[in-house]
Chain A
Amino acid sequence: MTDTATASDLPGTAPSPRLRFEHLSMVFPDGTHAVDDVSFTVDPGDFVTVVGPSGCGKSTLLRIASGLTEHTGGVCDVNRDSIGYVFQDATLLPWRTVQKNVELNAELQGVAKDERQRRAAQAIELVNLVGHESKYPKQLSGGMKMRCSLARSLVLNPEVFLFDEPFGALDEITRERLNDELISLFNSEKFAALFITHSIAEAVFLSTRVLVMSARPGRIIGDYAIPFGSERPHDIRFEPEFAEICGMINNDLKEAHS
Protein backbone atom coordinates (compact mmCIF):
# COMPACT_ATOMS: atom_id res chain seq x y z
CA MET A 1 0.00 0.00 0.00
CA THR A 2 1.36 3.42 -0.89
CA ASP A 3 1.21 6.44 1.31
CA THR A 4 -1.13 9.10 0.03
CA ALA A 5 0.75 11.32 -2.39
CA THR A 6 -0.15 14.58 -0.69
CA ALA A 7 1.26 13.39 2.57
CA SER A 8 4.75 12.39 1.45
CA ASP A 9 5.20 15.19 -1.11
CA LEU A 10 4.94 18.05 1.31
CA PRO A 11 7.83 18.04 3.77
CA GLY A 12 7.08 19.17 7.27
CA THR A 13 3.37 18.50 7.21
CA ALA A 14 1.75 15.59 8.93
CA PRO A 15 0.51 12.81 6.60
CA SER A 16 -3.14 13.33 5.74
CA PRO A 17 -5.32 11.19 7.98
CA ARG A 18 -6.95 8.05 6.66
CA LEU A 19 -9.93 8.70 8.89
CA ARG A 20 -11.03 11.95 10.49
CA PHE A 21 -13.86 12.64 12.93
CA GLU A 22 -14.55 16.27 13.79
CA HIS A 23 -17.14 17.23 16.41
CA LEU A 24 -18.98 14.12 15.38
CA SER A 25 -22.33 13.52 17.01
CA MET A 26 -25.04 10.99 16.53
CA VAL A 27 -28.62 11.12 17.73
CA PHE A 28 -30.78 8.20 16.65
CA PRO A 29 -34.35 8.80 15.43
CA ASP A 30 -35.65 7.42 18.73
CA GLY A 31 -33.78 10.19 20.56
CA THR A 32 -30.87 8.08 21.80
CA HIS A 33 -27.84 10.31 21.99
CA ALA A 34 -25.09 7.84 21.11
CA VAL A 35 -22.06 9.98 20.28
CA ASP A 36 -21.32 13.51 21.38
CA ASP A 37 -18.62 15.82 20.01
CA VAL A 38 -16.01 13.21 19.16
CA SER A 39 -12.90 14.40 17.32
CA PHE A 40 -9.83 12.39 16.42
CA THR A 41 -7.92 11.21 13.40
CA VAL A 42 -6.40 7.91 12.41
CA ASP A 43 -3.26 8.49 10.38
CA PRO A 44 -1.33 5.97 8.29
CA GLY A 45 0.55 3.76 10.72
CA ASP A 46 -1.91 4.48 13.53
CA PHE A 47 -3.63 1.75 15.46
CA VAL A 48 -6.29 3.58 17.45
CA THR A 49 -8.41 1.68 19.92
CA VAL A 50 -11.55 2.93 21.61
CA VAL A 51 -12.49 1.39 24.95
CA GLY A 52 -15.62 2.22 26.88
CA PRO A 53 -18.58 0.83 28.77
CA SER A 54 -21.16 -1.25 26.91
CA GLY A 55 -23.60 0.75 24.86
CA CYS A 56 -21.50 3.91 24.93
CA GLY A 57 -21.55 4.30 21.17
CA LYS A 58 -18.18 2.75 20.32
CA SER A 59 -19.61 0.54 17.63
CA THR A 60 -21.64 3.46 16.31
CA LEU A 61 -18.33 5.17 15.49
CA LEU A 62 -17.41 2.27 13.22
CA ARG A 63 -20.82 2.16 11.61
CA ILE A 64 -20.56 5.86 10.87
CA ALA A 65 -17.02 5.51 9.52
CA SER A 66 -18.09 2.71 7.19
CA GLY A 67 -21.24 4.47 6.06
CA LEU A 68 -23.61 1.85 7.49
CA THR A 69 -25.09 4.59 9.68
CA GLU A 70 -25.47 8.24 8.71
CA HIS A 71 -24.22 10.62 11.43
CA THR A 72 -26.31 13.58 12.49
CA GLY A 73 -23.66 16.19 13.25
CA GLY A 74 -20.02 17.07 12.61
CA VAL A 75 -17.66 15.66 10.03
CA CYS A 76 -16.64 12.13 9.11
CA ASP A 77 -13.94 12.04 6.46
CA VAL A 78 -12.76 8.71 5.12
CA ASN A 79 -12.21 6.99 1.80
CA ARG A 80 -15.14 4.55 1.78
CA ASP A 81 -13.71 2.69 -1.21
CA SER A 82 -10.92 1.31 0.89
CA ILE A 83 -12.37 0.07 4.13
CA GLY A 84 -12.05 -3.32 5.72
CA TYR A 85 -14.72 -4.05 8.32
CA VAL A 86 -14.28 -6.89 10.78
CA PHE A 87 -17.50 -7.60 12.65
CA GLN A 88 -18.06 -8.84 16.19
CA ASP A 89 -19.11 -12.09 14.67
CA ALA A 90 -17.08 -13.73 11.91
CA THR A 91 -20.14 -13.34 9.61
CA LEU A 92 -18.96 -16.10 7.30
CA LEU A 93 -21.53 -17.39 4.86
CA PRO A 94 -22.16 -20.94 6.10
CA TRP A 95 -22.78 -22.34 2.62
CA ARG A 96 -19.37 -21.24 1.37
CA THR A 97 -16.01 -22.86 1.95
CA VAL A 98 -13.16 -20.94 3.56
CA GLN A 99 -11.71 -20.21 0.13
CA LYS A 100 -15.04 -18.93 -1.21
CA ASN A 101 -15.68 -16.89 1.93
CA VAL A 102 -12.30 -15.21 1.68
CA GLU A 103 -13.04 -14.39 -1.95
CA LEU A 104 -16.46 -12.91 -1.13
CA ASN A 105 -15.65 -9.21 -0.81
CA ALA A 106 -13.51 -9.28 -3.93
CA GLU A 107 -16.20 -11.22 -5.78
CA LEU A 108 -18.93 -8.74 -4.80
CA GLN A 109 -16.73 -5.88 -5.96
CA GLY A 110 -16.18 -7.48 -9.33
CA VAL A 111 -12.56 -8.58 -9.06
CA ALA A 112 -11.82 -11.11 -11.83
CA LYS A 113 -11.80 -14.75 -10.80
CA ASP A 114 -8.09 -15.52 -11.30
CA GLU A 115 -7.06 -12.37 -9.52
CA ARG A 116 -9.33 -12.89 -6.52
CA GLN A 117 -8.27 -16.51 -6.19
CA ARG A 118 -4.64 -15.42 -6.16
CA ARG A 119 -5.31 -12.72 -3.56
CA ALA A 120 -7.41 -15.08 -1.45
CA ALA A 121 -4.58 -17.61 -1.42
CA GLN A 122 -2.22 -14.88 -0.20
CA ALA A 123 -4.61 -13.73 2.50
CA ILE A 124 -5.20 -17.30 3.65
CA GLU A 125 -1.47 -17.68 4.03
CA LEU A 126 -1.22 -14.41 5.97
CA VAL A 127 -3.78 -15.57 8.53
CA ASN A 128 -2.36 -19.11 8.79
CA LEU A 129 -5.34 -20.95 7.36
CA VAL A 130 -3.46 -22.87 4.69
CA GLY A 131 -4.83 -26.40 4.41
CA HIS A 132 -8.33 -25.41 5.54
CA GLU A 133 -9.46 -23.85 2.24
CA SER A 134 -12.12 -26.41 1.43
CA LYS A 135 -13.64 -26.56 4.92
CA TYR A 136 -17.00 -25.07 5.76
CA PRO A 137 -17.40 -22.54 8.63
CA LYS A 138 -19.23 -25.18 10.67
CA GLN A 139 -16.01 -27.18 10.78
CA LEU A 140 -13.88 -24.29 12.07
CA SER A 141 -13.09 -23.20 15.62
CA GLY A 142 -13.97 -19.69 16.76
CA GLY A 143 -10.41 -18.48 16.25
CA MET A 144 -10.21 -19.95 12.77
CA LYS A 145 -13.51 -18.33 11.82
CA MET A 146 -12.16 -14.95 12.91
CA ARG A 147 -8.97 -15.54 10.90
CA CYS A 148 -11.09 -16.34 7.87
CA SER A 149 -13.06 -13.14 8.43
CA LEU A 150 -9.80 -11.15 8.64
CA ALA A 151 -8.56 -12.73 5.42
CA ARG A 152 -11.79 -11.77 3.67
CA SER A 153 -11.06 -8.10 4.39
CA LEU A 154 -7.33 -8.39 3.67
CA VAL A 155 -8.10 -9.50 0.11
CA LEU A 156 -9.16 -5.95 -0.74
CA ASN A 157 -5.97 -4.51 0.75
CA PRO A 158 -7.86 -1.69 2.51
CA GLU A 159 -6.32 1.57 3.72
CA VAL A 160 -8.42 1.56 6.86
CA PHE A 161 -9.40 -1.41 8.96
CA LEU A 162 -12.38 -1.13 11.29
CA PHE A 163 -12.53 -3.77 14.02
CA ASP A 164 -15.73 -4.11 16.02
CA GLU A 165 -14.74 -6.20 19.07
CA PRO A 166 -13.61 -8.99 16.78
CA PHE A 167 -12.10 -11.22 19.46
CA GLY A 168 -14.65 -10.63 22.21
CA ALA A 169 -16.19 -14.08 21.92
CA LEU A 170 -12.90 -16.00 21.97
CA ASP A 171 -11.17 -17.59 24.94
CA GLU A 172 -8.22 -15.75 26.47
CA ILE A 173 -5.46 -17.87 24.94
CA THR A 174 -6.92 -17.72 21.44
CA ARG A 175 -7.52 -14.01 21.82
CA GLU A 176 -3.88 -13.38 22.78
CA ARG A 177 -2.61 -15.48 19.92
CA LEU A 178 -4.81 -13.59 17.45
CA ASN A 179 -3.61 -10.30 18.98
CA ASP A 180 -0.01 -11.36 18.31
CA GLU A 181 -0.92 -12.26 14.74
CA LEU A 182 -2.79 -9.02 14.23
CA ILE A 183 0.28 -7.03 15.31
CA SER A 184 2.42 -8.76 12.71
CA LEU A 185 -0.28 -8.24 10.09
CA PHE A 186 -0.45 -4.57 11.01
CA ASN A 187 3.31 -4.27 10.67
CA SER A 188 3.47 -6.05 7.32
CA GLU A 189 0.32 -4.71 5.66
CA LYS A 190 0.56 -1.13 6.92
CA PHE A 191 -3.11 -0.28 7.18
CA ALA A 192 -4.57 2.27 9.55
CA ALA A 193 -6.75 0.68 12.20
CA LEU A 194 -9.66 1.74 14.36
CA PHE A 195 -10.32 -0.97 16.91
CA ILE A 196 -13.16 -1.34 19.41
CA THR A 197 -12.84 -3.54 22.47
CA HIS A 198 -13.90 -4.11 26.07
CA SER A 199 -10.51 -5.48 27.03
CA ILE A 200 -8.04 -2.89 28.32
CA ALA A 201 -5.11 -5.28 27.97
CA GLU A 202 -6.01 -5.99 24.37
CA ALA A 203 -6.29 -2.25 23.68
CA VAL A 204 -2.90 -1.43 25.19
CA PHE A 205 -1.18 -4.40 23.56
CA LEU A 206 -2.38 -3.66 20.03
CA SER A 207 -2.53 0.10 19.84
CA THR A 208 -0.41 3.11 19.17
CA ARG A 209 -3.12 5.16 20.82
CA VAL A 210 -6.01 4.34 23.16
CA LEU A 211 -9.10 6.51 23.54
CA VAL A 212 -11.48 6.11 26.45
CA MET A 213 -15.13 6.81 25.84
CA SER A 214 -17.68 7.79 28.48
CA ALA A 215 -21.09 6.23 28.99
CA ARG A 216 -23.82 7.49 26.67
CA PRO A 217 -23.70 10.00 25.14
CA GLY A 218 -20.20 8.84 24.25
CA ARG A 219 -17.45 11.42 24.61
CA ILE A 220 -13.69 10.98 24.58
CA ILE A 221 -12.57 11.30 28.21
CA GLY A 222 -9.11 9.79 28.01
CA ASP A 223 -6.38 9.74 25.37
CA TYR A 224 -3.23 7.65 25.79
CA ALA A 225 -0.28 7.37 23.44
CA ILE A 226 1.13 3.88 23.90
CA PRO A 227 4.92 4.11 24.15
CA PHE A 228 5.82 0.66 22.84
CA GLY A 229 7.42 0.26 19.42
CA SER A 230 6.00 -1.57 16.46
CA GLU A 231 7.47 -4.92 17.54
CA ARG A 232 5.34 -6.19 20.39
CA PRO A 233 6.59 -9.44 21.84
CA HIS A 234 4.01 -11.54 23.64
CA ASP A 235 5.66 -10.91 27.05
CA ILE A 236 5.25 -7.17 26.84
CA ARG A 237 1.92 -7.80 28.56
CA PHE A 238 3.79 -8.48 31.80
CA GLU A 239 5.97 -5.33 31.82
CA PRO A 240 5.35 -2.88 34.69
CA GLU A 241 4.83 -0.04 32.21
CA PHE A 242 2.11 -2.05 30.48
CA ALA A 243 0.33 -2.59 33.79
CA GLU A 244 0.66 1.07 34.66
CA ILE A 245 -1.08 2.21 31.46
CA CYS A 246 -3.78 -0.39 31.94
CA GLY A 247 -4.29 0.96 35.46
CA MET A 248 -4.74 4.52 34.26
CA ILE A 249 -7.21 3.49 31.59
CA ASN A 250 -9.04 1.41 34.15
CA ASN A 251 -9.41 4.48 36.38
CA ASP A 252 -10.83 6.45 33.47
CA LEU A 253 -13.31 3.69 32.77
CA LYS A 254 -14.46 3.66 36.39
CA GLU A 255 -15.25 7.34 36.05
CA ALA A 256 -16.93 6.68 32.73
CA HIS A 257 -19.31 4.28 34.42
CA SER A 258 -20.28 6.73 37.17
Chain B
Amino acid sequence: MTALDDTRREVALESQALPSVVGVNVPVMQPPRPGTTRRVRNLIPPLITFLLFLAVWYLYSWARFDIAAQRRNALPFPHEVITDGFLPLWDPSNGFRPILGYMWPTAKVTLIGLTISVVLGVSIAVVMNLSKGMERALFPYAVVLQTVPILAITPLLTQLFGDELGVRLVVVVLIAIFPVVTNTLFGLQSTDQLHHDLFTLNRVSRWTRLRRLELPSALPATMAGIRIASGGAVIGAIVADFFFNQGEKGIGYYIRNRQQRAANRPEMFAGTITASMFGVVMFLIVGAITARAIRNWHESAQQRT
Protein backbone atom coordinates (compact mmCIF):
# COMPACT_ATOMS: atom_id res chain seq x y z
CA MET B 1 0.00 0.00 0.00
CA THR B 2 2.73 2.39 1.03
CA ALA B 3 4.80 1.41 -1.98
CA LEU B 4 1.91 2.30 -4.20
CA ASP B 5 1.52 5.65 -2.47
CA ASP B 6 5.18 6.34 -3.00
CA THR B 7 4.96 5.66 -6.70
CA ARG B 8 1.98 7.95 -6.91
CA ARG B 9 3.84 10.68 -5.11
CA GLU B 10 6.77 10.23 -7.46
CA VAL B 11 4.53 10.53 -10.47
CA ALA B 12 2.96 13.64 -9.02
CA LEU B 13 6.34 15.18 -8.31
CA GLU B 14 7.53 14.38 -11.78
CA SER B 15 4.58 16.01 -13.44
CA GLN B 16 4.97 19.05 -11.23
CA ALA B 17 8.63 19.35 -12.05
CA LEU B 18 8.08 19.11 -15.76
CA PRO B 19 7.09 22.72 -16.57
CA SER B 20 10.17 24.20 -14.91
CA VAL B 21 12.35 21.70 -16.73
CA VAL B 22 10.79 22.81 -19.99
CA GLY B 23 11.34 26.43 -19.06
CA VAL B 24 15.09 25.99 -18.55
CA ASN B 25 17.05 24.85 -21.54
CA VAL B 26 17.72 21.34 -20.36
CA PRO B 27 17.30 18.43 -22.77
CA VAL B 28 13.58 17.94 -22.74
CA MET B 29 11.71 14.69 -22.99
CA GLN B 30 10.58 14.24 -26.58
CA PRO B 31 6.83 14.53 -26.91
CA PRO B 32 5.43 11.19 -28.08
CA ARG B 33 5.45 11.09 -31.83
CA PRO B 34 1.93 11.08 -33.24
CA GLY B 35 3.10 8.28 -35.50
CA THR B 36 1.45 5.04 -36.40
CA THR B 37 2.43 3.19 -33.22
CA ARG B 38 0.41 5.56 -31.09
CA ARG B 39 -2.57 5.46 -33.40
CA VAL B 40 -2.50 1.66 -33.34
CA ARG B 41 -2.27 1.73 -29.55
CA ASN B 42 -5.34 3.98 -29.40
CA LEU B 43 -7.26 1.39 -31.41
CA ILE B 44 -6.62 -1.41 -28.93
CA PRO B 45 -9.27 -0.55 -26.26
CA PRO B 46 -12.20 -0.25 -28.68
CA LEU B 47 -10.96 -3.39 -30.45
CA ILE B 48 -11.06 -5.33 -27.18
CA THR B 49 -14.62 -4.11 -26.58
CA PHE B 50 -15.56 -5.27 -30.06
CA LEU B 51 -14.06 -8.71 -29.59
CA LEU B 52 -15.83 -9.13 -26.26
CA PHE B 53 -19.06 -8.10 -27.95
CA LEU B 54 -18.51 -10.71 -30.67
CA ALA B 55 -17.76 -13.35 -28.05
CA VAL B 56 -21.02 -12.67 -26.24
CA TRP B 57 -22.86 -12.72 -29.56
CA TYR B 58 -21.36 -16.13 -30.47
CA LEU B 59 -22.18 -17.46 -27.02
CA TYR B 60 -25.78 -16.33 -27.25
CA SER B 61 -26.25 -17.65 -30.82
CA TRP B 62 -24.76 -20.96 -29.82
CA ALA B 63 -26.97 -21.27 -26.73
CA ARG B 64 -30.09 -20.56 -28.74
CA PHE B 65 -29.24 -22.89 -31.60
CA ASP B 66 -32.37 -24.98 -32.02
CA ILE B 67 -31.36 -28.12 -33.91
CA ALA B 68 -34.39 -30.14 -33.00
CA ALA B 69 -36.75 -27.79 -34.78
CA GLN B 70 -34.49 -27.83 -37.85
CA ARG B 71 -34.64 -24.11 -37.76
CA ARG B 72 -31.78 -21.73 -37.73
CA ASN B 73 -31.32 -19.84 -34.57
CA ALA B 74 -33.03 -16.54 -33.98
CA LEU B 75 -29.71 -14.82 -33.92
CA PRO B 76 -27.29 -15.81 -36.69
CA PHE B 77 -23.61 -16.19 -35.94
CA PRO B 78 -21.57 -13.08 -36.70
CA HIS B 79 -19.67 -14.87 -39.48
CA GLU B 80 -23.00 -15.78 -41.10
CA VAL B 81 -23.87 -12.10 -41.25
CA ILE B 82 -20.80 -11.69 -43.43
CA THR B 83 -21.05 -14.86 -45.53
CA ASP B 84 -24.85 -14.84 -46.02
CA GLY B 85 -25.59 -11.17 -45.49
CA PHE B 86 -22.84 -9.05 -47.01
CA LEU B 87 -21.50 -11.58 -49.52
CA PRO B 88 -21.45 -11.74 -52.46
CA LEU B 89 -20.22 -8.20 -52.59
CA TRP B 90 -21.24 -7.39 -56.14
CA ASP B 91 -24.10 -9.59 -57.24
CA PRO B 92 -27.20 -7.84 -58.61
CA SER B 93 -29.70 -9.84 -56.51
CA ASN B 94 -27.85 -11.03 -53.38
CA GLY B 95 -25.50 -9.60 -50.78
CA PHE B 96 -24.13 -6.11 -50.46
CA ARG B 97 -25.12 -4.59 -53.79
CA PRO B 98 -28.91 -4.75 -53.28
CA ILE B 99 -28.37 -3.41 -49.76
CA LEU B 100 -26.64 -0.37 -51.27
CA GLY B 101 -29.49 -0.11 -53.76
CA TYR B 102 -31.98 0.10 -50.88
CA MET B 103 -29.69 2.49 -49.00
CA TRP B 104 -29.89 5.14 -51.69
CA PRO B 105 -33.60 6.13 -51.24
CA THR B 106 -33.05 6.14 -47.46
CA ALA B 107 -30.03 8.41 -47.80
CA LYS B 108 -32.05 10.72 -50.04
CA VAL B 109 -34.93 10.93 -47.54
CA THR B 110 -32.44 11.49 -44.70
CA LEU B 111 -30.59 14.31 -46.44
CA ILE B 112 -33.68 16.14 -47.71
CA GLY B 113 -35.43 15.68 -44.35
CA LEU B 114 -32.41 16.89 -42.41
CA THR B 115 -32.10 19.95 -44.65
CA ILE B 116 -35.77 20.80 -44.08
CA SER B 117 -35.31 20.26 -40.33
CA VAL B 118 -32.34 22.64 -40.22
CA VAL B 119 -34.02 25.43 -42.20
CA LEU B 120 -37.35 25.06 -40.41
CA GLY B 121 -35.77 24.45 -37.00
CA VAL B 122 -33.53 27.50 -37.13
CA SER B 123 -36.47 29.62 -38.34
CA ILE B 124 -38.67 28.44 -35.49
CA ALA B 125 -35.90 29.13 -32.97
CA VAL B 126 -35.47 32.63 -34.42
CA VAL B 127 -39.20 33.28 -34.03
CA MET B 128 -39.13 31.96 -30.45
CA ASN B 129 -36.20 34.23 -29.73
CA LEU B 130 -38.20 37.31 -30.76
CA SER B 131 -39.92 37.52 -27.39
CA LYS B 132 -40.57 35.57 -24.20
CA GLY B 133 -44.22 35.41 -25.25
CA MET B 134 -43.36 33.78 -28.56
CA GLU B 135 -41.17 31.28 -26.78
CA ARG B 136 -43.92 30.43 -24.31
CA ALA B 137 -46.44 30.15 -27.14
CA LEU B 138 -44.35 27.73 -29.21
CA PHE B 139 -41.97 25.81 -27.00
CA PRO B 140 -44.51 23.39 -25.43
CA TYR B 141 -45.56 22.27 -28.90
CA ALA B 142 -41.99 21.69 -29.94
CA VAL B 143 -41.72 19.37 -26.94
CA VAL B 144 -44.98 17.63 -27.78
CA LEU B 145 -43.78 17.18 -31.36
CA GLN B 146 -40.80 15.34 -29.97
CA THR B 147 -42.80 13.08 -27.67
CA VAL B 148 -45.63 12.09 -30.01
CA PRO B 149 -45.35 8.35 -30.73
CA ILE B 150 -45.11 8.35 -34.50
CA LEU B 151 -46.42 4.79 -34.73
CA ALA B 152 -49.71 5.93 -33.19
CA ILE B 153 -50.31 8.68 -35.70
CA THR B 154 -49.33 6.69 -38.80
CA PRO B 155 -52.90 6.54 -40.15
CA LEU B 156 -53.30 10.26 -39.68
CA LEU B 157 -49.99 10.95 -41.38
CA THR B 158 -50.98 8.73 -44.31
CA GLN B 159 -54.24 10.63 -44.67
CA LEU B 160 -52.48 13.97 -44.58
CA PHE B 161 -49.33 13.28 -46.54
CA GLY B 162 -49.91 10.08 -48.53
CA ASP B 163 -47.46 7.23 -48.18
CA GLU B 164 -44.64 8.15 -50.50
CA LEU B 165 -41.77 10.62 -50.24
CA GLY B 166 -43.82 13.34 -48.52
CA VAL B 167 -44.82 11.36 -45.48
CA ARG B 168 -41.32 9.92 -45.11
CA LEU B 169 -39.94 13.46 -44.97
CA VAL B 170 -42.58 14.38 -42.39
CA VAL B 171 -41.44 11.53 -40.13
CA VAL B 172 -37.78 12.53 -40.48
CA VAL B 173 -38.57 16.18 -39.72
CA LEU B 174 -40.72 15.21 -36.71
CA ILE B 175 -37.75 13.40 -35.22
CA ALA B 176 -34.91 15.66 -36.35
CA ILE B 177 -36.28 19.15 -35.83
CA PHE B 178 -36.41 19.23 -32.04
CA PRO B 179 -32.66 19.18 -31.33
CA VAL B 180 -32.15 21.86 -33.99
CA VAL B 181 -34.79 24.11 -32.43
CA THR B 182 -33.69 23.70 -28.80
CA ASN B 183 -29.97 24.02 -29.48
CA THR B 184 -30.37 27.02 -31.77
CA LEU B 185 -32.67 28.73 -29.28
CA PHE B 186 -30.16 28.08 -26.52
CA GLY B 187 -27.40 29.50 -28.73
CA LEU B 188 -29.40 32.61 -29.64
CA GLN B 189 -30.24 33.25 -26.00
CA SER B 190 -26.64 32.77 -24.87
CA THR B 191 -25.43 35.70 -26.95
CA ASP B 192 -23.09 37.82 -24.83
CA GLN B 193 -24.89 40.74 -23.15
CA LEU B 194 -22.00 43.14 -23.82
CA HIS B 195 -22.12 42.20 -27.49
CA HIS B 196 -25.80 43.08 -27.41
CA ASP B 197 -24.93 46.44 -25.82
CA LEU B 198 -22.34 47.04 -28.53
CA PHE B 199 -24.96 46.49 -31.21
CA THR B 200 -27.51 48.60 -29.33
CA LEU B 201 -25.03 51.49 -29.25
CA ASN B 202 -24.84 51.25 -33.03
CA ARG B 203 -28.63 51.39 -33.19
CA VAL B 204 -28.93 48.39 -35.44
CA SER B 205 -32.18 46.92 -36.75
CA ARG B 206 -33.56 43.68 -35.34
CA TRP B 207 -32.60 41.98 -38.58
CA THR B 208 -28.98 43.19 -38.48
CA ARG B 209 -28.68 42.08 -34.86
CA LEU B 210 -29.93 38.66 -35.83
CA ARG B 211 -27.72 38.27 -38.87
CA ARG B 212 -24.51 39.82 -37.62
CA LEU B 213 -24.64 38.86 -33.96
CA GLU B 214 -27.14 36.28 -32.79
CA LEU B 215 -26.97 33.73 -35.60
CA PRO B 216 -23.15 33.63 -35.66
CA SER B 217 -23.14 33.38 -31.85
CA ALA B 218 -25.56 30.50 -32.03
CA LEU B 219 -23.68 28.66 -34.78
CA PRO B 220 -21.73 26.25 -32.53
CA ALA B 221 -24.91 25.33 -30.65
CA THR B 222 -26.88 24.95 -33.89
CA MET B 223 -24.21 22.68 -35.29
CA ALA B 224 -24.35 20.55 -32.14
CA GLY B 225 -28.11 20.31 -32.64
CA ILE B 226 -27.69 19.29 -36.29
CA ARG B 227 -25.24 16.64 -35.20
CA ILE B 228 -27.80 15.08 -32.87
CA ALA B 229 -30.50 15.52 -35.51
CA SER B 230 -28.44 13.72 -38.16
CA GLY B 231 -28.60 10.46 -36.23
CA GLY B 232 -32.32 10.91 -35.62
CA ALA B 233 -32.91 11.65 -39.29
CA VAL B 234 -31.40 8.32 -40.34
CA ILE B 235 -33.60 6.48 -37.84
CA GLY B 236 -36.62 8.47 -39.01
CA ALA B 237 -36.01 7.52 -42.63
CA ILE B 238 -35.70 3.83 -41.74
CA VAL B 239 -38.71 3.84 -39.44
CA ALA B 240 -40.80 5.50 -42.16
CA ASP B 241 -40.01 2.55 -44.44
CA PHE B 242 -41.57 0.24 -41.87
CA PHE B 243 -44.87 2.12 -41.84
CA PHE B 244 -45.36 3.40 -45.36
CA ASN B 245 -45.39 1.00 -48.26
CA GLN B 246 -45.56 3.15 -51.35
CA GLY B 247 -42.90 5.20 -52.98
CA GLU B 248 -39.24 4.28 -53.34
CA LYS B 249 -38.44 1.44 -50.97
CA GLY B 250 -35.51 2.08 -48.66
CA ILE B 251 -33.31 0.05 -46.36
CA GLY B 252 -36.10 -0.09 -43.78
CA TYR B 253 -38.15 -2.12 -46.23
CA TYR B 254 -35.20 -4.44 -46.85
CA ILE B 255 -34.68 -4.95 -43.10
CA ARG B 256 -38.36 -5.60 -42.43
CA ASN B 257 -38.60 -7.95 -45.40
CA ARG B 258 -35.57 -10.03 -44.34
CA GLN B 259 -36.84 -10.18 -40.79
CA GLN B 260 -39.72 -12.54 -41.59
CA ARG B 261 -37.85 -15.77 -42.18
CA ALA B 262 -35.03 -16.98 -39.99
CA ALA B 263 -33.04 -17.96 -43.09
CA ASN B 264 -32.91 -14.33 -44.13
CA ARG B 265 -31.78 -12.99 -40.76
CA PRO B 266 -28.11 -12.62 -41.78
CA GLU B 267 -29.26 -10.31 -44.56
CA MET B 268 -31.39 -8.39 -42.10
CA PHE B 269 -28.34 -7.86 -39.88
CA ALA B 270 -26.20 -6.86 -42.85
CA GLY B 271 -28.82 -4.27 -43.79
CA THR B 272 -29.06 -3.01 -40.22
CA ILE B 273 -25.29 -2.70 -39.90
CA THR B 274 -25.07 -0.83 -43.22
CA ALA B 275 -27.83 1.53 -42.08
CA SER B 276 -26.07 2.28 -38.78
CA MET B 277 -22.81 2.81 -40.65
CA PHE B 278 -24.64 5.38 -42.73
CA GLY B 279 -25.75 7.07 -39.49
CA VAL B 280 -22.15 7.13 -38.28
CA VAL B 281 -20.99 8.59 -41.59
CA MET B 282 -23.65 11.32 -41.33
CA PHE B 283 -22.51 12.09 -37.80
CA LEU B 284 -18.87 12.33 -38.91
CA ILE B 285 -19.72 14.54 -41.90
CA VAL B 286 -21.67 17.01 -39.77
CA GLY B 287 -18.80 16.96 -37.25
CA ALA B 288 -16.29 17.75 -39.99
CA ILE B 289 -18.44 20.61 -41.32
CA THR B 290 -18.75 21.98 -37.78
CA ALA B 291 -15.02 21.86 -37.18
CA ARG B 292 -14.45 23.66 -40.46
CA ALA B 293 -17.05 26.33 -39.78
CA ILE B 294 -15.86 27.31 -36.32
CA ARG B 295 -12.24 26.20 -36.24
CA ASN B 296 -10.86 29.73 -36.13
CA TRP B 297 -12.79 31.00 -33.22
CA HIS B 298 -14.57 28.54 -31.01
CA GLU B 299 -13.05 26.87 -27.96
CA SER B 300 -14.48 23.50 -28.92
CA ALA B 301 -12.51 23.50 -32.16
CA GLN B 302 -8.99 22.69 -31.10
CA GLN B 303 -6.37 24.32 -33.19
CA ARG B 304 -3.27 22.49 -34.29
CA THR B 305 -0.24 24.54 -35.08
Contacts and interface: CB of A to CB of B under 8 A. Distances in A.
With a 10 A CB-CB cut-off, give which of A95, A104, A136 has the most chain B CB atoms.
Answer: A95
Contact of A108 (B202, B297, B298): B202
A89 B213 contact: no
Contact of B197 (A87, A104, A137): A87
A207 B5 CA distance: 59
Nearest to B205: A108
A246 to B, nearest CB: 30
B68 interface: no
A66 B195 contact: no
Given A87-B194, A89-B194, A108-B212, A94 B297 contact: yes
Interface in B267-305: 294, 296-299, 303
A104 B123 CA distance: 25
B147 interface: no
Contact of A91 (B195, B203, B204, B303): B195
B294 A87 contact: no
B297 A95 contact: yes
Contacts of B303: 138
Interface string B172-188: 00000000000000000
Contact of A138 (B192, B198, B297): B297
Contact of B202 (A89, A94, A105, A138): A105
Contacts of A108: 199, 202, 204, 208, 212
B200 interface: yes
B216 interface: yes
Contacts of A83: 201
Interface in A55-87: 66-68, 83, 85, 87
Given A91-B192, A108-B212, A136 B199 contact: no
B190 to A, nearest CB: 13
B201 A66 contact: yes
A88 B194 CA distance: 9
A128 to B, nearest CB: 23
Contacts of B298: 94
Contacts of B219: 95
A93 B202 contact: no
Given A108-B204, A108-B208, A95 B197 contact: no
Taking residues whose C-beta sits less than 8 angstroms from the other chain, chain A's interface range is 10 to 19
Nearest to A87: B194
A106 to B, nearest CB: 9
Contacts of A87: 194, 197-198
Contacts of A66: 201
A91 B194 contact: yes
A195 B192 CA distance: 23
Contact of B200 (A68, A93, A105, A138): A68
A258 interface: no
B200 A137 contact: no
Contacts of B200: 68
A93 B194 contact: no
Contacts of A104: 198
Contacts of B296: 95, 136, 138
Contacts of B202: 105, 108-109
Interface centre among A67, A93, A104, A105 (most CB of B within 10 A): A93
Contacts of B199: 108
A162 B129 CA distance: 30
A98 B200 CA distance: 21
A85 B192 CA distance: 16
Contacts of A68: 197, 200-201
Contacts of A138: 296-297, 299, 303
A137 B198 contact: no
Interface string B246-257: 000000000000
B297 A137 contact: yes
Interface string A121-138: 000000000000000111
Counting chain A CB atoms within 10 Å of each CB, the highest count among B192, B201, B216, B298 belongs to: B201
A104 to B, nearest CB: 8
A66, A87, A108 — most chain B CB neighbours (10 Å): A108
B197 A93 contact: no
A95 B294 CA distance: 8
A9 to B, nearest CB: 31
A108 B203 CA distance: 8
Given A85-B198, A89-B194, 12 more contacts: A66-B201, A88-B194, A91-B192, A91-B195, A91-B198, A93-B195, A95-B216, A104-B198, A108-B202, A108-B204, A108-B212, A138-B303
17 contacts: A66-B201, A68-B197, A83-B201, A87-B194, A87-B197, A87-B198, A89-B194, A91-B192, A91-B195, A93-B195, A94-B297, A94-B298, A95-B219, A95-B294, A108-B212, A138-B299, A138-B303
Interface of A: 66-68, 83, 85, 87-89, 91, 93-95, 104-105, 108-109, 136-138
Interface of B: 192, 194-195, 197-204, 208, 212-213, 216, 219, 294, 296-299, 303
